[in-house]
Amino acid sequence: MLNALTKDYKSEITYSVKYINIPENKVLISTLPSEFKLKVDAFGYALARYNLSKSLPSIVVDVELLYKKNKKNKFFVLTKNTKDKITKQLNSEIEVLNISPDTLFFEFADMINKKILVKPNLNINCIKPFHVSGEITVNPDSILVSGPTSILDTLKFISSVKLSYKDVNDTLIRDVQLIDNAELKYSDNFVRVNIPVDKYTENTFIVPLEVINKPENLTIQIFPNKVRLNFLVSVSQFSLLKPYNLKAYVDYNNIQNNISNKLRVSVDCTNKEILLYSVKATPSIVEYIIEK
C-alpha cells in the first residue's frame, strides 16, 4: 500500500472553473467551459488526496488580464499557455501535462444602460367573497438594466419569479425577486409588490343604453332603452360607485355584418380606479330599428 502511494502516476482529474474580473463596460456573451479536465503527473498519495476530497477549490481564470493582453472584443486563448498559472493554483505535488479543452473562446459586447419596466408574474386566488380590488403596483416599477445592445434593444420588460397565493383574504405586500439573466446587470434584484384585496358585495344599477359610433344622419331606436346591471363591487368602494360611472352601450359598427336586428350589450366602468367583477347586463341582447 505504501509503495503504491509513493509511485508516480499519470492520471486525469477534473476541476471546476471560476471566471473573475469581467472587464468594465463589457458583457461576456460567449459560452465558456465550467470545468477543465487535466492530465497530470503526480505521486499516488497526491492523487488519493484529490479523490478523497469532498470539496475542491475552483481554478480561477482572470478574464480582465486576458482581455488586456488581446485588447479585442473577440479572441481565443490556448489553455496550454495558461498551464503555469493553473499549476500554481493546484497542489504543488501535481504537475499539469495537458488541459482540455485546449482553447477558450472569448467574445464580449459593449454594455449599455436602459430603463426597463418590471412585470410581476403572479397567480392570485382569493377566497370568496374577496377579490383583487385595484391595480397591482410595483416599487420600483422599472429598473436600470445594463447589458449588450443586442438584448436591450428588444427587451420590453423584466419579469419576476412566479409566485402563487391561495385563499387570499387581505392585501398582500411582498418583496419579489426578479428573474436573473447572466448577460444582464440590474440596479435592483428585488421589487416590492402591493396587491390590494378587499371584500366584495353585490349591487344593481339600472342605466340608459347608448349607441356608439353612430352616423349623425341616422336615428336608431333601441328596445329596451335601459338595462339592469348586476355586479360585484368592493365594500370600500361601494359608496363611491354611482350609476353614471357605468356605461352600457351597443356598437353601431356591429350592425354592418349583422343579419338580424339584435345587438349584444357591452359595459364599461368610467371610473378606472374601481375594479368590478361578474358584471352582467339584463337583457344582454337588445333589438334595434334604424330610422333614416
Query: What is the structure's pLDDT at 45?
Result: 67
Contact 206, 265 (CB under 8 A): no
Total tally of structural domains belonging to the chain:
3
Residues in the chain, total:
292
Q: Report DSSP letters for 18-73, one per residue.
A: EEE-PPTTEEE-S---SEEEEEEEEEHHHHHHHHH-S--PPEEEEHHHHHHHH-SS
Give the model's confidence band at 6: pLDDT under 50 very low, under 70 low, under 90 confident, else very high.
Answer: low
- Three cell numbers written together for 177: 425577486
Contact 291, 221 (CB under 8 A): yes
Same domain, 95 and 181: no
Give the model's confidence band at 52: pLDDT under 50 very low, under 70 low, under 90 confident, else very high.
Answer: low
Same domain, 210 and 270: yes
Give the model's confidence band at 1: pLDDT under 50 very low, under 70 low, under 90 confident, else very high.
Answer: very low
Among candidate residues 175, 195, 215, the one where a domain is terminated: 195
Listed range (4-18, 110-124, 195-209) with the worst mean pLDDT:
4-18
- Which domain range does residue 65 map to? 2-101
Query: What is the structure's pLDDT at 140?
Result: 97
Query: What is the structure's pLDDT at 285?
Result: 94
pLDDT tens per residue, range 61-103: 999 998 888 888 899 999 999 888 888 887 777 788 899 999 9
3-class state of residue 152 by DSSP: helix
Among candidate residues 76, 101, 126, the one where a domain is terminated: 101
For residues 48-66, b (16+ Cβ closer than 10 Å) or e, as one string? eebeeeeeeeebebebeeb
Give the model's confidence band at 2: pLDDT under 50 very low, under 70 low, under 90 confident, else very high.
Answer: very low
Query: Which whole-number Å values give the CA distances from 72 to 78, 108, 110, in the listed order?
Result: 16, 8, 11
Same domain, 57 and 130: no
Query: What is the structure's pLDDT at 25?
Result: 83
State how far the Cα of 72 lies from the Cα of 78, in Å rounded to an integer: 16
Q: What is the mean pLDDT of the chain?
A: 89
Mean pLDDT, rounded, for 256-267: 85
Same domain, 178 and 262: no
Q: Report DSSP letters for 83-134, one per residue.
A: HHHHHHHS-TTEEEEEEESSEEEEEEEEEEEEEEEEE--EEEEEPTTEEE-S
pLDDT tens per residue, range 202-224: 999 999 999 999 888 888 899 99
Which pTM does this prediction carry? 0.65
Contact 41, 8 (CB under 8 A): yes
- Three cell numbers written together for 3: 509503495
Same domain, 221 and 168: no
Q: What percent of the chain has pLDDT over 90?
A: 60
3-class state of residue 6 by DSSP: coil
pLDDT at 48 over 90: no
Same domain, 85 and 6: yes
Among candidate residues 167, 195, 223, the one where a domain is terminated: 195
Question: For residue 167, what is the domain's CATH number?
Answer: 2.170.120.40
Dihedral sign computed on CA atoms, order 86, 91, 97, 102: negative
Listed range (80-89, 137-146, 233-242) with the worst mean pLDDT:
80-89
Give the model's confidence band at 54: pLDDT under 50 very low, under 70 low, under 90 confident, else very high.
Answer: low
